[in-house]
Amino acid sequence: MFLPENIDLAHAENYDLSIRLTPDRFSFYIYSVSDPTVFYYQETSLGSKFTYTESIKRLIFDLGFFSQPFRSTKATVVSPQFTLVPGKFFDRKRAKKLFDYNFHEIEGKILSDSPLDGIHIVYHLDEEVHSFLSRNLWNPHFRHQATPLLSLFATRAAERGDRCCFVDFHDRFVSLFAFDEGLLTANMFPATHPQDTLYYITNTWEKLGFDQSADTLLLSGNLDAHTGVIDEFSKFIAKVEQTELHPKTNLSEEQLRTLPTDTVAMLCEL
């Protein structure tokens, strides 16, 4: 596998590794918190020849370096099956019961993150995949895709000080986060049909009582694939803006446009 000259895996402890799991794709990137010029990203489709678990195993074994002792190793799970739980109601021992309350008959390892004070994300990952990655990655830290987005957007909302709704297009989904002196809602919807995507977002906007003239819709992610939906927003929402991202790693304009927003958000946290 080709790597840039400034990445020497003989000294893996100098770098951070992050992998990203979607229902049909696998990606990873290597970076350095001390050197903003160090960044390598690779993505591949899992296809249908093998099962999801078999595909992950083959990729990990074929590339052959994932078990090295990186400075840190993260695994991001992209899945619409997650739920938010206020801190006062969260109990790690009851996480599965909390998850099952919203999602029925879904088997897997139940995991949780705490991206904001007083907020927990409960989600799941295929148990065999979780077990395999736990054995074959160096002390991996699992997190849901919504975690870095919530952290980033909550900071931006606090800086703005107004009612705003963040919409991120990614992986044939749209993630939505709304704020008004704190988090109002977080959700993920399919984004395969423009009219359905438009309905999901506008319905949430209306149910939360957002004002078409005063409140702001902030967009991020794969905007090029959703220009029709975005054009429709502009017809009835006066303030539609693109979310500015400022990663601490040097990224090209193309990378800023094409990398998943949660990936860029994690690079903003360095």
| 178 in the same domain as 117 | no
DSSP assignment of 134-163 equals HHHSSS-EEEETHHHHHHHHHHHHHHHTS-
Residues 213 and 174 in one domain: yes
Which CATH number is 30's domain given? 3.30.420.250
Output the pLDDT for position 102: 87
Query: Is residue 270 assigned to a domain?
Result: no
Q: Give yes or no: residues 246 and 170 share one domain.
A: yes
- Kindly state whether residue 4 falls inside one of the protein's structural domains: no
Domain boundary residue among 147, 172, 200?
147
CB atoms within 10 A of CB 111: 19
Task: Note whether 98 and 171 are same-domain residues.
Answer: no
Please state, as a whole number, how many other Cβ atoms lie within 10 Å of the Cβ of residue 22.
Answer: 20
Q: Mark whether 93 and 47 lie in a shared domain.
A: no
Same domain? 101 vs 166: no
Looking at residue 1, its pLDDT comes to 61
Number of domains in the chain: 3
pLDDT along the chain (270 residues), means of 10: 88 97 95 96 90 94 94 97 92 90 87 92 96 96 96 94 96 96 93 93 95 96 94 93 94 94 94
Residue 1 domain-assigned (yes or no): no
Output the pLDDT for position 65. 93
The string of DSSP letters for 64-123 reads --TTS--SEEEEEE--S-EEEEEGGG--GGGHHHHHHHHS-S--SEEEEEEEETTEEEEE
Domain co-membership, 166 together with 230:
yes
> Same domain, yes or no, for 133 and 50?
no
Q: Does some domain include residue 86?
A: yes
Please name the helix (run of DSSP H) or strand (run of DSSP E) that holds residue 45, with its range, or none.
strand 39-45
- Same domain membership, residue 64 and residue 165: no
Q: CATH number of the domain that 245 lies in?
A: 3.30.420.260
Residue 59 CA to residue 43 CA, distance in Å, equals 11
* Residue 159, domain member (yes or no): yes
Q: Is residue 247 part of a domain?
A: yes
Tell me how far apart the alpha carbons of residues 191 and 50 are, in angstroms, rounded to a whole number. Answer: 26
256 shares a domain with 175? yes
Instruction: Note whether residue 2 is domain-resident.
Output: no
End position of a domain, from candidates 77, 98, 124 = 77
Q: Which domain holds residue 181?
A: 153-264
Which of 130, 147, 164 lies at the terminal end of a domain, its last residue? 147
Are 164 and 260 part of one and the same domain? yes
Judgement on whether residues 113 and 95 belong to the same structural domain of the protein = yes
Structure tokens at 58: 């083959």
pLDDT of residue 113: 93
100 in a structural domain: yes
